[in-house]
Amino acid sequence: MTINPYPYISGHVRKFLLDHPDVKRELRGGRIGTGPVPDPLKGVYVRVAVSGQVGSTPRVRRLLVQVTPWFPADPAVSGTKEDPSTVVWNLATTLGQVAATARNEVIDEHTAWHAEWIEGPVELFDRERGPDRGLLYTPIVLEVTVSHR
């Protein structure tokens, strides 16, 4: 029996979300990635990353995937008139609802996945980049079940 690596699920969740028109609308020209939050951040950025996993069998894994919208806290930085808290909240709840529609998403002949929205959004604030460069972020957590045979 040949053992193959599991597909990079963060990339598949990212693509699924990007393909949905409601997500595109809420992104406001921003982007979804699997890497670090850009610096400087002047618009929407959504980070998709596996944050944990459960499961005792190699054929079915339940991965915890954190999907985190980030947005500048200062409207002068983003150039928007909308409340930044509302921007990240609306995006997080849209992402959660869209992700929860993923059912039997085929990756290849051996692998498929589906998702459930299990936690969040949680409203958080980051000042690590400096007091005048604060970021708002609202992570949600998905439980992504990957069936691999």
Structure tokens at 126: 């980051």
Residues 6 or more apart in contact with residue 114 via CB below 8 angstroms = 102, 103, 104, 105, 144, 145
Q: Please identify every stretch of the chain with a pLDDT value under 70, giving residue numbers as ranges.
A: 58
pLDDT for res 10: 98
pLDDT for res 110: 87
List for the chain the helix, strand, coil content (%; round to 5).
25, 40, 35
Distance of CA 109 to the CA centre of its chain: 25
pLDDT for res 71: 98
Q: Which domains does the chain have, with CATH numbers?
A: 9-148 (3.30.2000)
Cα distances from 7 to residues 10, 68, 122, 125, in angstroms, run: 9, 21, 28, 32
pLDDT for res 87: 97
> How many residues are recorded in the chain?
149
